[in-house]
Amino acid sequence: MAALKGEKRFNTFLTILFTVICIFWVIPVVIVVFNAFKLNSFVKTNTFALPTGEMWAGFMNFVTGMTMGNYNFLKSVFYSFYITIFSTALILLCTSMSAWYVSRVDSLIARIVYYLCVFSMVVPFQMVMFTLSRTADTLKLNTPYTIPIIYLGFGAGLAIFTFSGFVKSVPLGMEEAAAIDGCGPVRTYFQIVLPVLKPTLISVAILEIMWVWNDYLLPYLVLDKNLYRTIPIQVQYLKGSYGAVELGATMAIILMGIIPVIIFYLCCQKYIIKGVAAGAVKG
């Protein structure tokens, strides 16, 4: 009985602890929502207050944020969507193929490739960002249409690590049966391996989409800000006359930027747990 009571108290403590942590994570988002509907003059003076009465700005902040400056906000939306979709697609296709290869081919080269990809997960971005910027300019990777190649390099480590763990748990007999039926490596991958990888594909896609969509530093270093701006970069340039920051408009644009990824995450969060658990069966 004493052990059961102790376990119950411990579970209650963990519940309270995680609830408090979740509240602290949610509070900044709630503050952004409040201030997105306030007049600019009240964002600083009444930051934590509800947007009621004379503080209420309605949707004027959203209109201001979308029309402020000399850059079309819809272009920022397009570039964010384009970079996110194509970077994620490139990462999923290339890394799933690579993970299948290094998991099935027992060779020194395959092991070296795998450990290099895993090692890239622990290399801080700040260590390579200056050389990366110079390399991107030299290789003409400094446009929204070529930056997915850079994202492939930075996203390959986690993706290959996750895919490899899942591939090792898949029976080899399925691929051997496909080979007996005359399937080559490409056909085996697309008809046999890829459908089996679906849970992990979804979980990796969710994580990569959230990362690329919210990323600020890599596009800021690589892209020409006068020509190409993603939503996070556009937020930085929301300034009025004499450099005054329009906080209400900034909060509105931040809210518009986080709503799509929050909705996407809430709709797909169960696949993250399922996919990560599947990928952790074997390491």
Judged against a pLDDT cut of 80, whether residue 65 lies above it is answered with: yes
Give the residue, 141 or 238, on which the prediction is more confident: 141
Which tens digit of pLDDT belongs to each residue from 209-249? 989 998 998 999 899 888 899 998 888 887 655 556 778 88
Residue 68 has pLDDT above 90, yes or no: no
Quick one: pLDDT band at residue 282, thresholds 50, 70, 90? very low
The predicted structure's pLDDT at residue 219 = 92
Q: Pull the structure tokens for residue 123.
A: 């290399």
- C-beta of residue 64 within 8 angstroms of C-beta of residue 37: no
Contact assessment for residue 141 and residue 223, using Cβ atoms and an 8 Å cutoff:
no
Give the torsion through C-alpha atoms of 145, 150, 155, 161, to 10 deg.
120
Distance CA 212, CA 87 (A): 8
pLDDT score recorded for residue 3: 59
For 212, the token pair is 């690329």
Dig out the tokens for 268 from the structure.
Answer: 């797909």
Confidence of residue 175 (pLDDT cuts 50, 70, 90): confident
| pLDDT at 186 exceeding the cut of 60 | yes
The phi, psi pair for 56, rounded to 5°, reads -70, 125
Rounded Cα–Cα distance for residues 251 and 64 (Å): 11
Q: Using one digit for the tens of pLDDT, what is the confidence trace for 83-111?
A: 999 999 999 999 999 888 888 887 888 88
pLDDT at 239: 67
Q: What percent of the chain has pLDDT over 90?
A: 14
- Per-residue pLDDT tens over the stretch 10-44: 677 777 877 877 777 788 888 888 888 888 888 88
Residue 274: band (very low, low, confident or very high) from pLDDT cuts 50, 70, 90: low
Computed over every residue of the chain, the mean pLDDT equals: 83
